[in-house]
Structure 1
């Protein structure tokens, strides 16, 4: 085993003080639920206080204009057309909106990969049950190159029958960066619409949504963009905007996309209105500085925990890009091979080691996913490395 590997980055001064996280827990799973800076929390709370002080005034005087303003700010950060962008609660909701708007029928198919997010797959399954369409899943090896991924997708497309290709930008289960632009270009050549599930992209990676060329793109701001939970953006290409239908009809239905999707009556809109403060926080810290820090820290964490588990450096999964802030580790064979077992192991690690991580079952094997964020420190990954081997040995 190698004794030298990636080194942790220098901590960003004061970064930990920006968050209200429990200092007794090593929270190495930012990718699942994110963490909201205290300043953003306070802005959201002031918005909630404003709502409760006079609900009639809050909802009836200028709220839609405030939503549009927040949307324009967030769309600008993404390099997306604000008129083709709608704020939605999360990437799964955005995917569901797209699926129900396609008007699938018998014989149609939705194509995805085996790296796709579970709830999106469930949403696809619900829609094909309703319509008589089918879901087809492409197998993509974990270590496939970008060229191999594109070729697998190209070979799997069935022009005329494939009504939607769903592809992740950064996969959740496997922490893998997919070549979204190249995949989209390949599908466009065959006139197959593409939905890019970019749940982890905003804030983690540089992005210009409009240059990707996808028909549909959805990404969360509440993971790596420091926004309150419940903030995501659905971006729709011009030719599809008139066909988009919200999951529930409300008073802006006749306004069309995006207001018909955004306006859902008495929702708590405070997360959306506070989200630009999350982006401001990221920019104040330095977007590239944060991205580089997080990616370097995740790489260090993968290496130090991999050493403890006896995983050779050459066998550590490559995320597919230097700026990915999540890393994957294989667990010993036979552990966490099902979703319930993965959840049980995750909870045991949290309770016994005081460390939060993601555990996923994928391709009949258990995998541990680590994140790197500015509130993390090298010693937290070392804590996991020190305690995990004995904990796993007890599970066999």
Structure 2
């Protein structure tokens, strides 16, 4: 099948001038999977390198208290302000999954308790939840949400799945990883709060992609990565905790700031490489320099264009293309042909084949008994990369039948 530009259903957005030159990605690879590990701008890489050089010139001076902890606090305040979060109730953590594990440990489940998940949740967080439940004698339960469910249906299904007196924690994604669906977390938190059920929001993809005011969501816990859409070095995330829980938060590893309490007892971990955190404000500076709203509009429009182009090449009608539910969503999914990528191992193999044969990095996930292709869009991407994928993907998938 040959890609026909006439089926693209609209023009792609114009590129942001000079944005592609800010990244060191291999020009021979179409990197359409920013949502996986992000991509660090060159200026941010250099900022982190300078910090590492500083540490190696005199490690004692770099790690000495209170100089290092003061720098950590300053960075935390900067990131929290960007996200609309209380800096005193926020802690820097390595990634969202680390923050989720920290919350699961600190909630202190008891035998008979349950943690409620959705079937759109990130796999590693589901594993962490089940492990903690096994340790504490609790159970993990999953509520199913249709991929095309609107906000009202999502809230109604989750509300109906809550078991007051038994559900000890609700874990919900703000942007789902396998289905790129934006969930109405503020309304979900309100529904759970009516039954005094704490809510943990996995917001791994939110910082930088969506406008957010964390404190207004009303969740008990919220954690998001800055190293995806916020241009920070990898290993940078912010965990935000509501006031009633802060004194109960315990780090996964105890170090010298334990007596300081949350958040420093979580943040200070001895000889951890703190340079990713300290360089994170440079990432936000890069985002602001490009224009936060301009970047969001560009990325969302390009992701939608890519979804339409590739979907048309696979014979999908517009109605078959899931709507992420937010205008700024910079990830889009589309279903693969029946029987392709329906298990974790098969999805991984399809993704690797696309990378090897088409020099294109995408995400492929198995969800709901079907394989799903997830496309991301970032300022370094071009419309031609999606068009090339559309031209060559059908033949590759036909070979897998």
TM-score (norm 1): 0.99
Q: Does 1:93 align with 2:98?
A: yes
Q: Which runs of 5+ in 2 are unaligned?
A: none
Q: Secondary structure at the match of 1:80?
A: coil
Q: What is residue 13 of structure 2 aligned with on the other side?
A: 9
Q: What is residue 37 of structure 1 aligned with on the other side?
A: 41
Q: Does the C-alpha gap of structure 1 residues 126 and 193 become closer, same or farther in structure 2, counting only changes over 3 Å?
A: same
In 1: Cα distance, 2:115 partner to 2:225 partner:
22
Q: How does 1:336-351 map to 2 (within 5 A)?
A: 336-351=341-356
Q: What is residue 52 of structure 2 aligned with on the other side?
A: 48
In 2: Cα distance, 1:106 partner to 1:201 partner:
33
Q: Does the C-alpha gap of structure 1 residues 313 and 201 become closer, same or farther in structure 2, counting only changes over 3 Å?
A: same
Structure 1 contact 86–258 (Cα < 8 Å) conserved: yes
In 2: Cα distance, 1:286 partner to 1:238 partner:
33
In 2: Cα distance, 1:392 partner to 1:307 partner:
14
Q: Which runs of 5+ in 1 are unaligned?
A: none
RMSD of aligned Cα (Å): 0.9
Q: Deviations over 1:305-330 (max 9, x none)?
A: 00110011111111111110000010
Match of 1:27 among 12, 25, 31: 31
Shift of 1:4: 5.1
Q: What is residue 269 of structure 2 aligned with on the other side?
A: 264
Shift of 1:5: 1.3
In 1: Cα distance, 2:62 partner to 2:321 partner:
51
In 1: Cα distance, 2:372 partner to 2:158 partner:
24
Shift of 1:93: 0.3
TM-score (norm 2): 0.98
Structure 1 contact 345–359 (Cα < 8 Å) conserved: yes
Match of 1:316 among 321, 337, 352: 321
Shift of 1:6: 3.3
Q: Deviations over 1:324-364 (max 9, x none)?
A: 00000100000011111111110110010010000000011
In 1: Cα distance, 2:42 partner to 2:282 partner:
11
Q: How does 1:211-226 map to 2 (within 5 A)?
A: 211-226=216-231
Structure 1 contact 7–296 (Cα < 8 Å) conserved: no
Match of 2:61 among 48, 57, 60: 57
Match of 1:353 among 316, 335, 358: 358
In 2: Cα distance, 1:7 partner to 1:105 partner:
55
Structure 1 contact 6–296 (Cα < 8 Å) conserved: no
Match of 1:332 among 318, 329, 337: 337
Q: Secondary structure at the match of 1:310?
A: coil
Q: Does 1:286 align with 2:291?
A: yes
